[in-house]
Amino acid sequence: MASPGFFLICVLHSLVALTTGALMMFYSAEISAIKSQGSTPHDQLLIRTSDSFSGLLLVAIGSLLLMVAFVKDREFQSFFAKGCMVLHVGMAVWRFCFERKLEELVESFRRCPFLNPAFCRSAAAVESSPPAIAKTEA
């Protein structure tokens, strides 16, 4: 006997994953325009490509969840639900640790004068100015 809750949860998760994945793949230009302001064209292309592949991964996960929703074996449903819970907890822990490290990196970036964009722009302006011509008295 299959659990109706399992079917409902899998279908809802599948619809969310398919929708967000399709939006990420086909409407990434609107999303990336906000994230990549001030980046080089090559960086913008990498960001758009990364967003598209993330969307493709979400579409694949959504398709898998939709297929799994129709499995009627209660033992498999239990195994799959436990695996999903472990996966969700692992992702939450990884994201928490990663974001904390990212915040530390941003703080060290702001303190380092050689990596600070404001410092680099002022240094580039000094280097690009024409050198002063020394006057010699004859």
Contact indicator for 51, 31 with CB cutoff of 8 Å: yes
Instruction: Centre a 10 Å sphere on the Cβ of residue 43 and count the other Cβ atoms it contains.
Output: 11
Report pLDDT digits (tens) over 75-112. 999 999 999 999 999 989 988 888 777 777 777 766 76
pLDDT recorded at residue 95 = 84
Q: Which residue has the higher pLDDT, 6 or 31?
A: 6
Q: Angle formed by the axes of helices 28-35 and 4-26, to 10°? A: 70
What radius of gyration, in Å, describes the C-alpha atoms of the chain?
25
